[in-house]
Amino acid sequence: MNEPLTPEPVSLEPATLLLDGNQYRLPVVEGSEGERGIDIAQLRADTGHITLDPGYGNTGSCTSAITFIDGDEGILRYRGIPIEQFVDSPTFIEVAWLLIFGHLPSETEYHSFSEDLTRFANIDEGMKHQFEGFPRSAPPMAILSAMINALSCYHPELHELEDEHELRHAAARLISKIRTIAAYAFRHSRGLPYIYPDPSLRYVPNLLHMMFSLPYRQYVCPNLVRKAMNLILILHADHEQNCSTSTVRMVGSSGANLFASCAAGVCALWGPLHGGANVAVLNMLEQIHRGNITPEEYVRLAKDKDSKVRLMGFGPRVYKNFDPRAQMLQKVAEELVPQLSGDDPLLEIARRLEEIALSDPYFVERKLYPNVDFYSGILLRGIGIPTNMFTVIFAMGRLPGWIGHWWEQSQMPGGRIARPRQIYTGNGLTDYLPMERRP
Ligand code: CMC
């Protein structure tokens, strides 16, 4: 018999809540790494009260067996495996399988999944015409989201997934086609002809081939670039209940299909406080490089609440210590950028910003550290990826996480539509005023 997809948490001694003179017992649960939560699922029914937690900083929206983060210790694990162990050996496709299906793929599973990815790489010719409907200046994230949603029109048979076999078909299509869509979004923005996927190429070289090959000159992917891109995709592959993943789960909770749910995830990722931060970081570094502002001045502005400036690439909520992904990416950027594109002055500026921030009481007291977006842009730039494609690459990396979470949720016994409540603070009962009587 298969193990349950998401094991139940352990029950501990209940908590006691005193409210309006009444005493309530609230179940307390513990996850497999000791994380504890008060289960308030019955709170409103029993007490008439709800909890208020804007931004959900204290709210566990689900149990999940995919990714573990200990932000105080700077720990990130996929299905129990520390992120640091993914530096050299595995490919992004192995990690994608691990996240979605819960275990590392056997050799047979890996090869047959890779074959599926090759088989499904093309998009329907009809979809290509849809690219033409977008202006040249369209942000690639807008195209990506629209096209992932459009995929659902071409695969109605995958709207409802009955079992892991069907999930595998849907996942392979999405993971393969997102690459083609991403490359075509880039080609469209440059007015270049679309290049078909090459079945002889692996995941990353095929992406770069579709982005950079010309009809008369094939792009050849250096090994160094393949490894760096592979690592970037792996490090972005999941981060438990972040904004885009929570969005995918929320949309999926209504019964929306995988394509529609992931398209919504792309939209959530786009914002500069989430995946769009990699673009914002690069813009910040370039601004400093152009001499518009010094690193010291930038940090001063980031601390000033009136300025609305933030030090981009600093402070994911869940880490109160170094983000291990940032440390890994910095190391790789330091090694590879000089080999890929020579000395990049932005790397020096990033180091300087980090140094200033990490010795400033504002950032120290708030435990704000560089996050995954702080160094990823510099590395992507070294590889030759244009800035407007950075968040698209993030989305490609995050896709297996989204798929894993969408499936995990859809298999959850007793799953309910996600529907938070609110504390209403608007007008009391108010009468409608006809137009002529309005002030
Ligand atoms: N620069 C300056 N101050 C900051 C920053 C920052 N980057 N991040 C947080 N703070 C301050 C914030 O002003 C607040 O100060 P105070 O306590 O005086 O009001 C305090 O730190 C706590 O911040 P918060 O806004 O409550 O933190 P949050 O958990 O709600 O926000 C965040 C998390 C990632 C949106 C935020 O840190 C931020 O805006 N960072 C810059 C954007 C960024 O790099 N985003 C990528 C996130 S990681 C990758 C991903 O998941 O996409």
Question: What tens digit of pLDDT does each residue of 393-437 get?
Answer: 999 999 999 999 999 999 999 889 999 999 999 999 999 999 999
* Whole-number pLDDT of residue 4: 58
Residue nearest (by alpha carbon) to ligand 1 atom 51: 274
Distance CA 356, CA 347 (A): 14
Q: Which residues is 10 bridged to in the sheet?
A: 30
Q: How many CB atoms lie within 10 A of CB 280?
A: 19
Q: Is the pLDDT of residue 145 over 50?
A: yes
Residue nearest (by alpha carbon) to ligand 1 atom 24: 317
The average confidence (pLDDT) of the chain is: 95
* Whole-number pLDDT of residue 3: 56
Give the model's confidence band at 294: pLDDT under 50 very low, under 70 low, under 90 confident, else very high: very high
Pocket test for ligand 1, best of 270, 303, 310, 365 (most atoms within 8 A of CB): 310
Distance CA 53, CA 318 (A): 16
Single-letter code of the amino acid located at 438 = R
Residues 169 and 113: beta-carbon distance below 8 Å: no
Q: Is the pLDDT of residue 198 over 50?
A: yes
Q: Which atom of ligand 1 is nearest to the CA of 371?
A: 48
> Region 33-46: what's the mean pLDDT?
97
Question: What tens digit of pLDDT does each residue of 94-138 get?
Answer: 999 999 999 999 999 999 999 999 999 999 999 999 999 999 999
Residue nearest (by alpha carbon) to ligand 1 atom 19: 305
Model-level pTM greater than 0.85?
yes
Is ligand 1 within 6 A of the CB of residue 331? Answer: no
Distance CA 405, CA 60 (A): 14
* Whole-number pLDDT of residue 7: 87
Is ligand 1 within 6 A of the CB of residue 337? Answer: no
Is ligand 1 within 6 A of the CB of residue 373? Answer: yes
> Region 341-350: what's the mean pLDDT?
91
Q: Is the pLDDT of residue 347 over 90?
A: yes
* Whole-number pLDDT of residue 215: 86
Q: In the structure encoding, which two tokens stand for residue 16, read together?
A: 């006691």
* Whole-number pLDDT of residue 36: 97
Pocket test for ligand 1, best of 241, 269, 314, 360 (most atoms within 8 A of CB): 314
Give the residue carrying structure tokens 């995958």.
158
Distance of CA 86 from the midpoint of ligand 1 (Å): 27
Question: What tens digit of pLDDT does each residue of 298-340 get?
Answer: 999 999 999 989 999 999 889 988 899 999 999 999 999 999 8
Q: Is 413 helix (H, G, I), strand (E, B) or coil?
A: coil
Q: Which atom of ligand 1 is nearest to the CA of 316?
A: 34
Angle between helices 140-154 and 390-410 (to 10 degrees): 40
* Whole-number pLDDT of residue 292: 87
Residue nearest (by alpha carbon) to ligand 1 atom 21: 366
CA 382 to chain centre: 22
Question: What tens digit of pLDDT does each residue of 46-103 get?
Answer: 999 999 999 999 999 999 999 999 999 999 999 999 999 998 878 999 999 999 999 9
Residue nearest (by alpha carbon) to ligand 1 atom 8: 315
User: What is the 3-state composition of the chain as percent helix, strand, coil, each rounded to the nearest 5?
Assistant: 55, 10, 40
* Whole-number pLDDT of residue 341: 81
Question: What tens digit of pLDDT does each residue of 167-195 get?
Answer: 999 999 999 999 999 999 999 999 999 99
Angle between helices 390-410 and 258-270 (to 10 degrees): 140
> Region 264-291: what's the mean pLDDT?
97
Residue nearest (by alpha carbon) to ligand 1 atom 20: 366
